[in-house]
A and B are shown apart, each in its own frame.
Chain A
Amino acid sequence: MTASLDDVARAQRARRTSFNEASARTRLELMLDAGSLVEFIGPEQREVSPHLRIFDLPEQFDDGIVVGHARLEGSPVFVAAQEGRFMGGAFGEVHGAKLTGLLRAAREIGSIPVLILFDTGGVRLQEANAGELAIAEIMRAVMEARTAGAKVIGLIGGRSGCYGGGGLIAGCCSALAVSEPGRIAVSGPEVIETNRGVEEFDSRDRALVWRTMGGKHRRLLGAADVFADDTVQDFREAALELIGLVGAFGPDRLKAEHERLAGRLRRFGTCKDAVDIWTAEGVADAETVPDLPADRFIALADRIGRTSRDAR
């Protein structure tokens, strides 16, 4: 009885709390069944980065990621949440190893879904080699966990977005949920501007950044399957919905995914701007999409947006 009262209180707080603004720990606390999170390698174990000290940089006791097991609507889940404010949520050696280990546990058990709350700018520059290796290991671990029958769900709505290696890992997940402030890409706006010039991409034009990489575009394009309003409770509901939707994984599904991506490139490869893509998809007044409130956008996306449900 007390547990359910706790859950009512949790849900009320989760509905009031912006996912985008919350810390990794608050996201988990409010998203999962009340009091159910058991952390692996918590901060009290002080398993910090072995590299940051060399660069005279501050460490964080959990190296910027919380991993553990918990319950979601009574069922067990594995969870990982990146803290986007510590070094931009970037992957380092320990940070990456914690996620790899979690995914391997999911592979061993096979039936427990994994939720990854991405919030990352990519790989930590100070531990680049270890970080890049971690990305490769995590991608492999995701595919192995999925092959073993575990669903791997990515939730993207943090301030650092999901960039670099994080974008690659997200691409390997069974399904993604994204909110409006969430962004998914490999190269970030500044990287594109630096390499290709401001004429190609003006990283300070935030409206451009969001309509190119932001949650609404990723949802309409089918890169994300569910669009969540920016509250922790909405992400909880999105996670539950996706766990219910994701089907079995095998080579056929991977082939279907490659075909889906090739088809997307054929259809939209020559578009100059996201608005052109939305127009081509039949969205009337496509330029107003960024201003649509969440409920109206979700209705639009359900009508017109693509999904990867038969692929991935």
Chain B
Amino acid sequence: MNLIETTGSHHGLERDDEARRGAKAMTSWQNNRGARDARIAAGAGLAHGKVVQARDATRLLEAVIRPGDRVCLEGDNQKQADLLSRALLAVDLSRVNDLHMVQSGVVLPEHLDLFDRGVAKKLDYAYSGPQSARIARMLFGGKIELGAVHTYLELFARYFIDLTPHVALIAAVSADRDGNLYTGPNTEDTPTVVEATAFKDGVVIAQVNEIVEQVPRVDIPADRVHFIVKSDKPFFVEPLFTRDPAAITEGQILTAMLAIKGIYAHYGVQRLNHGIGFSTAAIELLLPTFAERLGLKGRIATHFALNPHPALIPAIESGWVRQIHSFGSEVGMDDYIRARSDVYFTGPDGSLRSNRAFCQTAGLYACDMFIGSTLQIDLAGNSSTVTTSRIAGFGGAPNMGADARGRRHPSEPWLKAGAEADPDSPAALRRGRKLVVQIGETFGDKNVPLFVERLDAIELAEKLKLELAPVMIYGDDVTHIVTEEGVANLLLCRTAQEREQAIRGVAGYTDVGRRRDRAMVAQLRERGVIRRPEDLGINPLDADRSLLAARSIKDLVRWSGGLYAPPSKFRNW
């Protein structure tokens, strides 16, 4: 597959064709607007004003969508336009086929059924968590023609350049008769998708849970919305960011202690983003206990680009956290967020306003650190969540976990990291460095090693003939690796060989770890490139669950004063 040809010039040609056809017929520069108006007119017969009954949703899509259209079906990280995806799946194939789906999240089974049935042919996306195994099978089977796997910001950017949707199918909580939309706390991708579609002659169709006289707040103004479909049941939202403290292990607690002392405290990291794994949940739960005893309150972890993680409630309640901007929301956190508007971004109605594009930008430019987990790390520090049977996509981690070359404002951790990486350049001309930290245990689930000589992503790229292996975070962006064996500071490595031994030196009993050069690892430890628990004054036997500020979901509810209402699947009461 030639990525340049399929994603670049080919799409350019589509638009050119349309323009050329128009030029012959009407010598007009507004053909796309005319085409949009024709689509709306075709759908209008099914609508009262803008409102279409749910039972007519498929007929609406047949009227509005043309074969080969680029369609953005709102599959966000959390919020899903599930009614519209089912409606799209049911279209008459003679009227709607070969669509090019552009959507950040491939999450629902229906998203892939579209390709099985032939409604859609081509896919550009960012994240496919729950469908990661099936999407891999379908790519191998040739059922899907893959454009590319993106990061969120990258895909959003392409919505405005060469992947602009003809039709956007979005989801909101409520609409008024004019079409003003209220998205609720899960605003997520909606403003971005609507901006790209509505202002470039596309059609926007929204499914809503209810139609009301007046929406609580206007997240999307009515003039950008062309049809509204009332759904019989609320759109699907998955609780993705809830980590049950009961499942946090002693190993994860030890790793979290090492990160707090070896990195957060060392650099004085105040502005940051956390991944969604158990190791970072452990860090969140150690802030009011372990980190408080180290006297770090107010000095670290004050400003976050972060979803509303329930595990952060104890730190918020203990006065650690000043401000959080969120990509999306989290099931059960609505009342808590509403009551803590000093911390979260909220609308005039009091509920959370999230925005993935802005929060990703904030994570890229305004945070000094990203810390998260991965599935595989190679000897150069490249990491990937792809295995040969699963393609989970990238989501936002690469945007958070990348050094922003356009950054110009200084901060203490950024400058300190820059100085460690390049001590010899004159300070006034030296770039700072974002701290990009990979945290994890040396062996993951089912004793699968975290460290590998060669990423599965490379094998996958060869099999699928991709020009790029799906690497989550490139090694040259990674500054630290933390495992239960210690902290490796890659900024201090001066050669590729040092870097490799620093990684082997924290790789524990994996094959990669056991093949270390012991003498060199000992030298790196003397230089502080590798720091063991004892170098940081931490006894692994102290890594006990009693250190966690909350040890169960119920504890989190107590910390929240009863404001956090966890979904049923996380309850044991």
Contacts and interface: CB of A to CB of B under 8 A. Distances in A.
Touching chains A and B, CB distance < 8 Å: yes
Interface of A: 16-18, 20-21, 180-181, 204-208, 210, 214, 216, 290-291, 293
Given A205-B568, A206-B569, A293-B558, 20 more contacts: A17-B546, A18-B551, A18-B552, A20-B552, A21-B551, A21-B552, A180-B554, A180-B573, A181-B554, A181-B572, A204-B568, A206-B570, A206-B572, A207-B568, A207-B573, A210-B572, A214-B573, A216-B573, A290-B573, A291-B562
A107 to B, nearest CB: 36
B246 interface: yes
B87 to A, nearest CB: 26
Interface in B351-407: none
Interface string B551-573: 11010001000100000111111
A241 B222 CA distance: 66
Interface string B534-550: 00000000000110000
24 contacts: A17-B546, A18-B551, A18-B552, A20-B572, A21-B246, A21-B545, A21-B551, A21-B552, A180-B554, A180-B572, A204-B568, A204-B569, A205-B568, A206-B570, A206-B571, A206-B572, A207-B568, A207-B571, A207-B573, A210-B571, A210-B573, A214-B572, A290-B573, A291-B562
Contacts of B568: 204-208
B13 to A, nearest CB: 49
A205 B570 CA distance: 9
A208 B567 CA distance: 12
A151 to B, nearest CB: 29
For the complex of A and B, the 7 pairs showing the least CB-CB separation, nearest first, are A207-B568, A206-B571, A181-B572, A180-B573, A206-B568, A210-B573, A207-B571
B571 A16 contact: no
Interface in B207-253: 246
Interface of B: 246, 545-546, 551-552, 554, 558, 562, 568-573
A18 B246 CA distance: 11
Contacts, number: 38
A291 B335 CA distance: 15
Contacts of B546: 16-17
Contacts of A16: 546
Nearest to A161: B572
Nearest to A13: B546
B444 to A, nearest CB: 21
A31 B121 CA distance: 64
A244 to B, nearest CB: 28
A89 to B, nearest CB: 16
Contacts of B569: 204, 206
Contacts of B572: 20, 180-181, 206, 210, 214
Given A18-B552, A208-B568, A181 B573 contact: yes
Nearest to A210: B573
A234 B551 CA distance: 18
A204 B572 CA distance: 11
A227 to B, nearest CB: 12
A21 B558 CA distance: 17
A269 to B, nearest CB: 25
Contacts of B570: 206
A45 B65 CA distance: 75
A208 B571 CA distance: 10
A9 B333 CA distance: 38
A291 B557 CA distance: 9
A206 B554 CA distance: 13
A12 to B, nearest CB: 12
A208 B545 CA distance: 28
Nearest to A180: B573
A210 B551 CA distance: 19
Contacts of A204: 568-569
A114 to B, nearest CB: 27
Which of A17, A20, A290 has the most CB atoms of chain B within a 10 A radius of its CB? A20
A106 to B, nearest CB: 32
Which of B545, B546, B568, B569 has the most CB atoms of chain A within a 10 A radius of its CB? B568
A224 to B, nearest CB: 15
Contacts of A17: 546
Contacts of B246: 21
A20 B552 CA distance: 10
A63 B396 CA distance: 47
Contacts of B552: 18, 20-21
B549 to A, nearest CB: 13
A207 B568 CA distance: 5
Nearest to B555: A18
A21 B572 CA distance: 12
B335 to A, nearest CB: 12
B407 to A, nearest CB: 44
A216 B569 CA distance: 18
A207 B554 CA distance: 13
Contacts of A208: 568
Contacts of A290: 571, 573
A17 to B, nearest CB: 8
Nearest to B246: A21
Contacts of B562: 291
Contacts of B551: 18, 21
Contacts of B571: 206-207, 210, 290
Contacts of A180: 554, 572-573
A204 B567 CA distance: 11
Nearest to B557: A291
A310 B554 CA distance: 34
A173 to B, nearest CB: 23
A206 B552 CA distance: 15
A253 to B, nearest CB: 32
B515 to A, nearest CB: 30
B64 to A, nearest CB: 37
Which of B546, B551, B552, B573 has the most CB atoms of chain A within a 10 A radius of its CB? B573
B471 to A, nearest CB: 36
Nearest to A179: B573
Nearest to B572: A181
Contacts of B558: 293
A204 B568 CA distance: 8
Nearest to A202: B568
Contacts of B573: 180-181, 207, 210, 214, 216, 290
A137 B552 CA distance: 37
B285 to A, nearest CB: 14
A4 to B, nearest CB: 24
B244 to A, nearest CB: 11
A207 B571 CA distance: 6
A267 B246 CA distance: 38
A291 to B, nearest CB: 7
B48 to A, nearest CB: 36
B91 to A, nearest CB: 31
B130 to A, nearest CB: 16
Contacts of A216: 573
A20 B573 CA distance: 12
